[in-house]
Structure 1
Amino acid sequence: MKNWIIGLSAALVAALVTLPVLADELEITRWADGLEWFLEAEPLAAGESRTFLVHATRLDEHSPVTGGSVALALHDGNGDVVAQGVAEAERPGIFPVALELPAAGRYALVGRHEGPEGERSSDLGEVDIPDAPDHDHAHDNDHRHDDAHDHEDDHEHPHGIWSWIRHWFSHEHDHDGEHGDHEDDHHDDDGDAITFLKETQWRMNFAATPARREGFAERIEVPGTIREAPGARARLIAPATGVVTAAESWPQYGRGVERGEPMMRLTLLPDAGAASGLALDVARARERLAAAEAEFERLTALAEEGVVAESRVVEARRERNTARAELEDARERQGHLGGDADPGAIVLRAPADGRVESLEVGPGEVVQAGQQLATVLDGERLWLVAHLYPADLERVRTLADPMVRQPGNRDWHALEGEPVWESGEFEAPGQLLRVAFGLEAEASRYRPGMPVTVAMATEAPRERILLPRQALIDDDGVAVVIVQTGGESFERRPVRTGMRAAGRVEIVSGLEAGERVVTEGAYAVLLAGRDTDDAGHGHAH
């Protein structure tokens, strides 16, 4: 055994002296302009051809780029292009771009994707190209994405005996089993590093985002309700007795209408009166209003002199307001006639912009003057009404800038601004204070009557490193996150957490702002790092 070891040692020393030092395979990852660029290539050598496997991922959906072409270009120190190549997708997300490498030196690598959405260019950093080896050293440059060829780490390496030598020394193999403790120590050093293939990421719900330093405050959660804003619901009223029919086509539930758009046609009955009758109503209402205003002014002057009681002024004001409302109603009914109506019919027009919310009648029905025919709701003018108990109000620092979450959805949305209305007092039942916020810019995701959860700040915001709460994993009682260090490289990272509110969590230590953290699929990556068969490391493109 001793002679065998001595002979093997001599062979290893000879190999170290005679074989060249091999460069590592090239891996580059960049996140820019909505794309993730992950490039792989065999060790570079001046004057040789290399195929760069570009994995292109859309960051908004974390899906492979399927269309267009990818181009790579090497620029020298003067900015001139010294090598370039272009390729279409060999498989979804994978573009094999071939380059003829220039002389040894340092070059800037630029990637460009051209597709239906336009052109996007990204600076992929600098690459060093060494001189080619002096001896005939065969490179396997066919790093193809073929299901039939799996590149298993530490098993099939294109550099033969040299790879075996490096494998021997890096793992400190002991055929007699006397150094098992060293193997365990080596495993612990790399225990938090995880390889998770890009193709696996594309096939699952996966996402990663940079940890951000933002203003963050503790919040309490209170119930809320979506309601239409005052004046958002308009009613279509029959101005006279008659029969309703379609003006152009009969209105449909949910159909969008514009103010003044024809909705129905009202054919007046013989005893219902026509335009002359409505004009008479307007004239009578105008005369009544003029008399009421004159009486109100007279009594107001007398009350100031102490001649009449204040109660008579109040009664005169009420009469004036009633007369004014009657005049407005008569004018509105007269306006429905329009210039295009014949003496026996009235075109009934949409009272506001919005969507048809309800229809109270059908075509051919007889309706009475003043009867409601339909309602139109402006769905873009909604209120978020938060319901606060007295104890909640004591804790809330400010009512401005709440956050809201829909039922069954873990995503929170921020609302900027102050309340547009407060109830002013706690109301029974339940002694609730109602506070309303406008939702005009956010209305597309809400509907009247929808229950929501509202988060309101209890302190002034402070700068903190934040993550979505779903990025945090409880790993046997230890809070950990999965940090993405490269396209297919990840790291299990224990962290210490702080405040949690509105779907986000503060990271006190263990993570720096800007590091990319897996927010969807983190547990699957963690399990891949514990695969004892090393199945997650075989690169089977």
Structure 2
Amino acid sequence: MKYIIIVLAFLAMSCNNQAEDAHAHNEDGSHVGEEIPRLSHTIWTDKTELFVEFPALIVGNGSKFAAHFTVLDNHQPVREGSVTVSLIKDGKGIRNMVDAPSSPGIFSPAIQPKEAGNYQLVFELTTPEYSDKISINDVVVYASTDEAIEALGKEEDDGSISFLKEQAWKIDFQTAPVVSGKIYDVINTSGVWMPSPGSTKSLAAKSNGVVDFKVNNLTEGTAV
């Protein structure tokens, strides 16, 4: 009988642990295993293109940025310099600086938001050649992972083909902001202008003589 009671008690404890594991939560209250949505932005200045990827900003979570900087003059990655990222609200905020790229063109600063709300995200780039400042407005810091997923949705494979900045830097390739305008296709070729079928008529003269046209500016193709 004692053995039966011990076995039953052990089974009850196991079931209880499994139930707790099934509903385990992260420190921010979200469910364990939930993937934080990722965001990306592309911004241009007169000197620099910034393409940055980062997980949604969540209170208490450290977020690491993959900030890709391209020099517009030569379409090459920024190879030297420092980057400071700041998260600002009502004139106050937090910042972090990295004094070198983690790889050519890519800087990886990180910040840990302390309060939910709308912020301005600012990147300050300093290189031996020049300095630049790039701002992203209305960046949201979410109170929890669940709130971020509800607002942004879950990561899904949409079948798109990625083209990395690391690939673009190796070839003659550059992005630019989308603008509204006309697109003209020009094909360089050679040829002979010919009248279209049905636009010419042949008349047979029934007698000898000279035809006198009373038009001063008669040119080939003019109707008479």
TM bucket normalised to smaller: 0.5 to 0.7
Q: 1:210 to 1:95 in 2, by over 3 A?
A: closer
CA distance in 1, matches of 2:54, 2:177: 26
Aligned to 2:67: 54
Structure 1: runs of 5 or more not aligned:
1-13, 135-165, 172-189, 214-464, 467-496, 503-541
CA distance in 2, matches of 1:63, 1:129: 32
- Following superposition of structure 1 onto structure 2, how do residues 229-378 of structure 1 map, counting pairs within 5 Å? none
For residue 84 of structure 1, the aligned residue among 61, 70, 95 is 95
CA distance in 2, matches of 1:197, 1:73: 25
Q: Does 1:208 align with 2:175?
A: yes
Q: Return the letter of the residue paired with 1:98.
A: A
Q: Does 1:93 align with 2:105?
A: yes
Q: 1:210 to 1:106 in 2, by over 3 A?
A: closer
- Following superposition of structure 1 onto structure 2, how do residues 390-405 of structure 1 map, counting pairs within 5 Å? none
Deviation for aligned residue 1:104: 1.1
Deviation for aligned residue 1:124: 2.1
The answer to whether the 8 A contact 2:67-2:106 is kept is yes
Q: Secondary structure at the match of 2:58?
A: coil
- Following superposition of structure 1 onto structure 2, how do residues 95-244 of structure 1 map, counting pairs within 5 Å? 95-133=107-145, 193-210=160-177
Q: Secondary structure at the match of 1:500?
A: coil
The answer to whether the 8 A contact 1:33-1:120 is kept is no
CA distance in 1, matches of 2:178, 2:102: 33
CA distance in 2, matches of 1:196, 1:96: 20
CA distance in 1, matches of 2:177, 2:143: 37
The answer to whether the 8 A contact 1:26-1:44 is kept is no
Q: Does 1:64 align with 2:77?
A: yes
Higher percent of residues as helix: 1
- Following superposition of structure 1 onto structure 2, how do residues 362-441 of structure 1 map, counting pairs within 5 Å? none
Aligned to 2:210: none
TM norm structure 2: 0.58
Q: Secondary structure at the match of 1:200?
A: helix
Q: Secondary structure at the match of 2:69?
A: strand
Aligned to 1:442: none
Q: 1:128 to 1:113 in 2, by over 3 A?
A: same
CA distance in 2, matches of 1:501, 1:110: 45
Q: 1:39 to 1:210 in 2, by over 3 A?
A: closer
TM norm structure 1: 0.26
Aligned residues: 152
- Following superposition of structure 1 onto structure 2, how do residues 474-493 of structure 1 map, counting pairs within 5 Å? none
The answer to whether the 8 A contact 1:29-1:124 is kept is no
Identity of aligned residues (%): 31
Q: Return the letter of the residue paired with 2:175.
A: A
Aligned to 1:330: none
Q: Deviations over 1:38-89 (max 9, x none)?
A: 112233210222221211111222110011101111110x222x11011121
Aligned to 1:33: 46
Higher percent of residues as strand: 1
Aligned to 2:216: none
CA distance in 1, matches of 2:126, 2:51: 17
Q: Secondary structure at the match of 1:194?
A: coil
Q: 1:209 to 1:100 in 2, by over 3 A?
A: closer
Q: 1:129 to 1:209 in 2, by over 3 A?
A: closer
The Cα RMSD (Å) is 3.1
